[in-house]
Structure 1
Amino acid sequence: MYKRQLQRGSVTAATAGMVIGETVGPALAGVAWLGDRTRAGLTPLAIAGFLLAILGALALARFGEAPTEPAAAPSEEPRTTT
């Protein structure tokens, strides 16, 4: 999917999707199958960090593209009258 996105879209959108996949997938696997838990009292901090990682990746996808400059118009030669 990453390769297809690079061919069709922008690098930053593809990278943001990859970051989200690398964040969500292992987190879900750890919690669901490996029994990962946060330390007592740190669950809100863990959730905030997880959400910040996701929001950062989404911001990268939305605002990470470098602005493209419009092509400069060809310059006209000054007219001279003789």
Structure 2
Amino acid sequence: MFETFYENYPAHRRLSEDAAANAWNEADLSDEDIQELLDWLRARQESDPSWHKAATGMYVPRLDKFLRQCWWRTERGNRRPTF
């Protein structure tokens, strides 16, 4: 599941693959957490172009911060974009 997450996270906010894997392992996510995270990322990318994996959106947190803070569960992570 890490590979799926890593490949779909916006490239400009990823870490090296090794550092990202360490952050993923430190997050110690359950299968349910991972599914929730991937569902959130997929939905967010559909509603907010700055989250597309090839985008350069400035409001996307660094991958390690995203995982450490469970960003997909926060109020900030669930705000809808305004265009």
Question: Who wins on radius of gyration, i.e. which is larger?
Answer: 1
TM above 0.5: no
TM-score (norm 1): 0.28
